[in-house]
Structure 1
Amino acid sequence: MSDHKKKLTASHWGIGVATVVDDRIIAVEGHESDPAASEINANIAGSLYGKARILRPAVRKSWLDGSPAAVPRGRDVFVEVSWDRALDLIAQEITRVRKTHGNKAIFAGSYGWSSAGRFHHAQSQLKRFLNTQGGFVRSEGNYSYNAALGLMPHIVGPYRQHVAQATRWPVIAKHSDLVVMFGGMALRNTQVSDGGVSKHRMSDNLEACAKAGVDFVNISPLRSDAADVLAARWLPVQPGSDTALMMGLAHTLLQEDLCDLAFLQNYTVGFEQVRAYLMGETDDQPKDAEWASNLTGVDATEIRALARRMAGGRTMISVAAGVQRTDFGEQPMWMAIALAAMLGQIGLPGGGYTVGYGVNANIGNIERPFRWGTLPQGVNPVSEFIPVAMISEMLLNPAGSYQYQGQDRTFPDARMVWWAGGNPFHHHQDLNRLHDAFQTPETIIVNELNWTATARHADIVLPVAAAQERTDFGAGKSDNALVPMPRLVTPQGEARVEYDIYADLAARLGNEEEFTDGKSIDGWLNDIWETTRSRATKAGITLPDWQSFLAGDVVHLPDPSPEQVFLADYRSDPKKFALPTPSGKIELFSEAIAGFDLTDCKGHPAWFPPRDRANDPNGEFPLAMLSGQPKTRLHSQLDNGAYSLSHKIAGREPVLIHPDDAAARGIKSGDVVEMFNARGRCLAGAKVTDEISTGCVFLWTGAWYDPDFDAPQARDRHGNPNVLTHDLRTSLLTQSPAAHSAMIELRAFEDPLPPIEAHEQPPFGEEG
């Protein structure tokens, strides 16, 4: 008789209830407590048991044979080896690199979402291990909202804190008249949250706003960036022109005496410089509605009417994270703050601004009541780091110089790269350039579940257990639930839990005790849970012991601040609750940034034209490409799962094309098209729809990179937009990714369709 059980698991996209038959997951559904469970769970079974699963340790043949440059990374075959052989090779390499070049030659950015567990968190495990081996060069920031992380401390304070303090959506439903959404608020993004989400609340909260009579304006080239229930007014703008539109609105407020001068006087510094720039006193160019209309495509009359509407009631300004992943992405955030300050509603219920609504499931919806326990990473003896979006720059330009936050810095010389829990061949820009950059290190090690492009670019590949193949507990960084995660099934093939891998490596290197602290996996889980229980007790919450929790159901915790209003304390008393800025106020002009004397980020918000468009005077690449989080997976995770595969067209990622643009190129829905520019090209499946504005296309991110190295520009066969994005950053201030500023052309693909190999295993060979 089959053993048929239902068991809990947790992922970044929610709580899952897995059906397990004979030690195999056959399905994962949402938890009954979740009002809008994500269908991403339907990918888990197919990915765990798919053809791409890494089953044994493997080493790149040319590297193993002692001639690593004979075949480029990404094109080589692999040799499967024993665990002892793989770990011996890694221990030898760590020893060699440390002895010859020092720990500054080890780079372990390992950026990514890994799994939702508190203990088996890939980056934490790797960083703890490397910290016990003398340290490593790390990356700083993230791809999602790095410009906000780098800019906001100069203007209002630490962005991560302010995201947690965002005004709650029930408050908006009760108090707001209008929500103006720059970049929209795509529900597909709100399926996920870092660490996990227990209940998907966004749909219900937005519906409550609509029922309460709150009006919404969707400022985005994509109409579906606003949920249908909102009946939002759609203002399709030219991508990258949000700052110009904000300035046109602000100029109207000035021109028609609609500014709150008292708020500007009491709560901000530097408005005079902003006013002079908006009025054209510093550059002879007034930033009026006509000027903004020419740049955005929005009628000047519409701009003026919207400005009056914003000033005439309680208005929340929302800036999506994607808006700051563009050329000069600091500017729309800074200008949004200036616009909100001019309206004078910051700190009032339902008014002001928020950067990041909709970037995940929890911002503005819920927050955790206390900090969970976690695995201590120890102290990294190496202080060097690079901004997260500069991997290619570092690898291609060792010892080269760059600017960051007003400092002159030097890239490390990375001889060893170790990646765990992430996929740079999804996240990073200009993948052809990244492919070249990945040829430069002496050794690359990758821990992975599947043969992603990152694994295929490694020298040593370690197969690791999936979240469902080990015991842990889930707890989102901004959620209010704790989820037991008992091991559901045996790891596939020879996959191992990473903690055991590092313990074996530490034993080979002579300091196992320093890494393990004398604890087994069960010992660590008990300790981390007891830390969580202790903090819960201090918050007035009682949690069960570890074994009772692991055998039970989800533990839902109280909402710590259901009526939260962003910057309400600061508004109530700007001296007592002064902001952590040089002036203690909102800095509409920053003396610090002005003092850096940067060419691409002034001391106040300013307009800079997008670079791809400016560098293409003949219009060779006339279509603006938008790329964003898909609804079928988290970034590139589980792209080989059933739900992800079900939305592809001819096996390729779908690209949205306006009917006029499609007709001009002889394209119809279901066709395979080739998208291209000077950096690269990829194949995608056409979906002709008027939900995208003319002159734009939209391609989801996360299709596993599948280059055909025999085709022009190593054409990606699968539809990965990052073969087309540039590797320039937002500015010298934050060095953030600006991938949403790519211009492309496309055409119907007439040649025989090449097979997609991304979801297969790479070729294997024999040593020697």
Structure 2
Amino acid sequence: MDGIEWRTHSSHWGVFSAGWKDGELVVRPHPSDPDPNGILQNLPQALRHQARVGQPMVRRGWLERGPGPDATRGADEYVAVSWPQVLDLLAKELARVQEQHGVASIFGGSYGWSSAGRFHHAQSQVHRFLNNVMGGYVRSVNSYSAGASAVILPHILGHYEQLSRNTITWKAVAEHSEVVLAFGGMALKNSMVAAGGISRHIERGSMARAAERGARFVLISPLRGDLPEEARAEWMTLTPGTDTALMLGIAHTLVAAGKHDQAFIERYCVGWDKFAPYLLGVSDGQAKDADWAAAICGVPAEQIRALALSLPGKRVLVTVAHSLQRAEHGEQPVWMGAVLAAILGQIGLPGGGYGYALGALGHTGRETNIAAVASLNQGKNSVADFIPVARISDMLLKPGEPYEYNGQHRTYPDIKLVYWAGGNPFHHHQDLNRLRAAFRGIDTLVVHENAWTATARHADIVLPATMTAEREDIGSSAVDPVVVAMKPLAEPFGEARDDYWIFSELARRLGKEQEFTEGRDVRAWLRVLYAPLEKRMADLGQPVLSFDEFWEAGEAVVPQTPDTGGFLAAFRADPAGEPLPTPSGKIEIFSETIAGFGYDDCPGHPAWLAPTEVPSAEEPLHLVANQPATRLHSQLDFGGHSQDSKRRGREVMCIHPRDAEARGIEDGQVVRLFNGRGACLATARVTPDVMAGVVQLPTGAWYDPIDPGEANPMCVHGNPNVLTRDKGTSRLAQGCTGQLTTVQVEAFTGNLPPIRAFVPPGMEAMAAE
């Protein structure tokens, strides 16, 4: 045939198989995938790229002066050492910190997206090591993607994971939805990614089928691309960050016209008597009507009224994207979206109601498997302390200082050592110059990394880790029927080792090898993780492959449960017998619990809270820093697919023709984005697909400061997080606010600096434009 020995594998970008031809890795998506993800094509070029970390490295300053705060972190040289040397050094440092400061001075950083495999899941590996070997660590909670919604939704509806993944299915949208109000859209670039892998990308086809049936999609976003062409959407542009005001204007129009579902509100909700006076202006003298909303969000009042009055009598689905809550007061659009769906009386109906984060990831809107592969046991953490994930700079810069979170009065711990395996905070975090200062104040930063990310360049000890394609594992998601035998596609790069090997060797040096490994090698652990699926299938009388049969075949298929609408449909059918897991058992339009916290930045019912950062003469443009389309976060930015999307080697910024003309900016020109926090270069794409007054620059371009030794260096590659603000959404959730900020943009007229993001430390002189 083609002469290629194909091996099965999986990734967060999709299930695939790969083989070698003429010295090149060839990748092909799963044959059942109707809409394969192009990010798969990042892998071949990345495997042997110069950006890979090939041997253990130690920062010179740490090696010569020992652990401690160091202003040269991020701008220092590295020294190559052997594996025995580096493991001895690290074991000694871990023992020192444990003895002198206790394990509550260790922060375990990881973000869980490093591998679709259930065993080589870096987050599980590092947490297991820190728990079983060290005795515990300070952890983080929630995510950068859903920091606000994961906290507020349990107060008002319950079951964040179930709500976002298992209540509204794409099948129901395709068959039942008549109107979809997509606040923030449902961009396919987001649903192309799914934790644990995905064998079929169904979002585009589902929206196409709904549109062909006559469903009306309304895209409410400053970006036209936030819904695919197949949805045939009406595009309603609004000022970024004002979705809550628009929702209130729609709600007021419905209530004022008597078109709201009062019977649904009375039976299924609590708190209407406290929210309605605010909506109607009784409590504060300001009716939240369409004219009021129009002045805030920029949508004409008549358009708001027409949209609102077109909804009653239809099967309406209100969807709210992750992006809306990644901004100041991000809790409010999440809450108000649910209230709007309640006012329409649609919650719990097939294809109607409330679809939080539908399309945000590839595992939303799908049926659930009847059996699952187990996760690696992470052990028990003896340390109770934690931080919201987006507060890492605050933690490192403000040890011992108080902060509030979800009704709790907490104190930031005093961290001496940060251990990071899986994840790149120089992608996820905001205000990178502040983050650099934060990392310079600790004793030691340890990183497992397969490539020279900015996080690795700030580390004291860099341990070369394998990529997913260089190890064996099991790929599995609870909402995808295909379980994948992830077979190695290549030998490890240089001296790279997998996280399990590294932690096993450290555990041996610390006298806790058995506690970590339980005497098992990788293949033995894969058998352990597969066993619960095998048993569950057998118990249900379903045909099942043994582990050996599964490994030989390359995949196993697990049946899925039928779509029942999840817990919201059960609640609608029987609110007394199937109450919501909220304090009242009902939808909380007003929350006594949240009101009791006394937060002025998150009151007891959804409200319009004006942002503190708005366009000005100095920073007149909104910047939308959203997720990239050609990579997962910052992963494999040096891969072929990601590189092909750049222009002149830099990330692409989209700008409206009117704003470009006012600044003398032409398509393809390198521009400088700047504000009071920092500056970066990007290449301009002049397009009407972004609304006037807004520029868009995706996250994920590797941070590349022109002079790492400076206090506030410009990133020459196009990382927008040099510009974004490191501030919590509110005292309730302390979520990430990195989606929106304000900037000025100008044509860059100086000599273009070279891109050095993918050049290993010490080789920067080799970089060229």
- The answer for the alignment partner of 2:195 in structure 1 is 194
Aligned with residue 652 of structure 1, among 637, 650, 653: 650
The answer to whether 1:289 aligns with 2:281 is no
8 Å Cα contact 1:80-1:764 kept in structure 2: no
8 Å Cα contact 2:165-2:366 kept in structure 1: no
559-568 or 579-588, which moves further after superposition? 559-568
Aligned counterparts of 2:70 and 2:126: Cα–Cα separation in 1: 30
- The answer for the alignment partner of 2:635 in structure 1 is 637
Give, as a single letter, the amino acid of the residue that structure 1 aligns with 2:522.
Answer: I
Per-residue deviation at 1:158? 2.0
The answer to whether 1:747 aligns with 2:754 is no
- The answer for the alignment partner of 2:159 in structure 1 is 158
Deviations 1:533-592 (A, max 9, x none): 112323443321222212213323323123536611101110000111111111100011
3-state DSSP of counterpart to 1:331: helix
Give, as a single letter, the amino acid of the residue that structure 2 aligns with 1:37.
Answer: P
Per-residue deviation at 1:204? 1.0
Q: Structure 1's 711 and 566: CA in aligned 2 closer, same or farther, altered over 3 A? A: same
Per-residue deviation at 1:83? 0.3
Per-residue deviation at 1:478? 3.1
- The answer for the alignment partner of 2:767 in structure 1 is none
- State how 1:157-556 maps to structure 2 within 5 Å: 157-556=158-557
Q: Structure 1's 583 and 111: CA in aligned 2 closer, same or farther, altered over 3 A? A: same
8 Å Cα contact 1:198-1:479 kept in structure 2: yes
The percentage of aligned residue pairs carrying the same residue is 47
- State how 1:716-735 maps to structure 2 within 5 Å: 716-735=715-734
Deviations 1:586-624 (A, max 9, x none): 1100011000001100000011112210xx6x4311111
Aligned counterparts of 2:670 and 2:460: Cα–Cα separation in 1: 34
Aligned counterparts of 1:72 and 1:764: Cα–Cα separation in 2: 18
8 Å Cα contact 1:178-1:214 kept in structure 2: yes
- The answer for the alignment partner of 1:91 in structure 2 is 91
Aligned counterparts of 2:69 and 2:155: Cα–Cα separation in 1: 45
Deviations 1:450-506 (A, max 9, x none): 000000010000001111111111002432220111112210100012111111111
Per-residue deviation at 1:345? 1.2
499-508 or 57-66, which moves further after superposition? 499-508
Deviations 1:276-324 (A, max 9, x none): 0011122211111001001111010010111111223110001011111
Per-residue deviation at 1:173? 2.4
3-state DSSP of counterpart to 1:42: helix
8 Å Cα contact 1:164-1:367 kept in structure 2: no
Give, as a single letter, the amino acid of the residue that structure 2 aligns with 1:379.
Answer: K
8 Å Cα contact 1:61-1:77 kept in structure 2: yes
Give, as a single letter, the amino acid of the residue that structure 2 aligns with 1:488.
Answer: L
8 Å Cα contact 2:373-2:531 kept in structure 1: no
8 Å Cα contact 1:612-1:741 kept in structure 2: no
3-state DSSP of counterpart to 1:713: coil
3-state DSSP of counterpart to 1:206: helix
Aligned counterparts of 1:338 and 1:360: Cα–Cα separation in 2: 23
- The answer for the alignment partner of 2:687 in structure 1 is 689
Per-residue deviation at 1:370? 2.8
Aligned counterparts of 1:692 and 1:539: Cα–Cα separation in 2: 51
Q: Structure 1's 371 and 555: CA in aligned 2 closer, same or farther, altered over 3 A? A: closer
TM superposition score normalised by structure 1: 0.97
Aligned counterparts of 1:449 and 1:45: Cα–Cα separation in 2: 15
RMSD (Å), alpha carbons:
1.6
Per-residue deviation at 1:71? 5.2
Q: Structure 1's 477 and 114: CA in aligned 2 closer, same or farther, altered over 3 A? A: farther
Per-residue deviation at 1:162? 1.6
8 Å Cα contact 2:111-2:423 kept in structure 1: yes
- The answer for the alignment partner of 2:713 in structure 1 is 714
8 Å Cα contact 2:317-2:354 kept in structure 1: yes
Per-residue deviation at 1:109? 2.4
3-state DSSP of counterpart to 1:683: strand
Per-residue deviation at 1:259? 1.0
8 Å Cα contact 1:372-1:535 kept in structure 2: no
- The answer for the alignment partner of 2:662 in structure 1 is 664
Aligned counterparts of 1:129 and 1:3: Cα–Cα separation in 2: 42
Deviations 1:376-432 (A, max 9, x none): 111111111100000000000011110001111011111000101100000011111
3-state DSSP of counterpart to 1:386: strand
3-state DSSP of counterpart to 1:310: coil
The answer to whether 1:77 aligns with 2:62 is no
- The answer for the alignment partner of 2:103 in structure 1 is 103
Per-residue deviation at 1:254? 1.1
Give, as a single letter, the amino acid of the residue that structure 2 aligns with 1:718.
Answer: H
Aligned counterparts of 1:127 and 1:3: Cα–Cα separation in 2: 42
3-state DSSP of counterpart to 2:503: helix
- The answer for the alignment partner of 2:16 in structure 1 is 16
The answer to whether 1:700 aligns with 2:698 is yes
Structure 2: gaps spanning 5 or more residues: 765-769
Deviations 1:123-167 (A, max 9, x none): 111111111121100000001112111001110112112223222
Aligned counterparts of 2:141 and 2:163: Cα–Cα separation in 1: 19
8 Å Cα contact 1:7-1:20 kept in structure 2: no
Aligned counterparts of 1:683 and 1:56: Cα–Cα separation in 2: 32
Structure 1: gaps spanning 5 or more residues: none
Aligned counterparts of 2:72 and 2:445: Cα–Cα separation in 1: 13
112-121 or 25-34, which moves further after superposition? 25-34
Aligned counterparts of 1:639 and 1:540: Cα–Cα separation in 2: 45
Per-residue deviation at 1:25? 5.2
8 Å Cα contact 1:357-1:364 kept in structure 2: yes
Per-residue deviation at 1:170? 2.0
- The answer for the alignment partner of 2:574 in structure 1 is 573
Give, as a single letter, the amino acid of the residue that structure 1 aligns with 2:398.
Answer: N
3-state DSSP of counterpart to 2:446: strand
Give, as a single letter, the amino acid of the residue that structure 1 aligns with 2:638.
Answer: N
8 Å Cα contact 2:195-2:363 kept in structure 1: no
Aligned counterparts of 1:687 and 1:318: Cα–Cα separation in 2: 29
Give, as a single letter, the amino acid of the residue that structure 2 aligns with 1:697.
Answer: V
Q: Structure 1's 146 and 171: CA in aligned 2 closer, same or farther, altered over 3 A? A: same
- The answer for the alignment partner of 1:52 in structure 2 is 51
Aligned counterparts of 2:219 and 2:540: Cα–Cα separation in 1: 39
Q: Structure 1's 649 and 100: CA in aligned 2 closer, same or farther, altered over 3 A? A: same
Aligned counterparts of 1:607 and 1:90: Cα–Cα separation in 2: 50
TM superposition score normalised by structure 2: 0.97
3-state DSSP of counterpart to 2:148: helix
3-state DSSP of counterpart to 1:129: helix
Deviations 1:671-719 (A, max 9, x none): 0000010011100010000000000011111001111227793000111
3-state DSSP of counterpart to 2:696: strand
- The answer for the alignment partner of 1:129 in structure 2 is 129
3-state DSSP of counterpart to 2:409: strand
Moved runs in structure 1, 4+ residues, more than 4 A? 67-71
Per-residue deviation at 1:661? 0.4
3-state DSSP of counterpart to 1:523: helix
Aligned counterparts of 2:148 and 2:197: Cα–Cα separation in 1: 24
Q: Structure 1's 683 and 331: CA in aligned 2 closer, same or farther, altered over 3 A? A: same
Number of residues of Structure 1 aligned to a counterpart in Structure 2: 760
711-720 or 462-471, which moves further after superposition? 711-720
Per-residue deviation at 1:253? 0.8
Per-residue deviation at 1:70? 5.9
8 Å Cα contact 1:348-1:565 kept in structure 2: no
3-state DSSP of counterpart to 1:649: coil
Aligned counterparts of 2:629 and 2:599: Cα–Cα separation in 1: 38
Aligned counterparts of 1:16 and 1:73: Cα–Cα separation in 2: 39
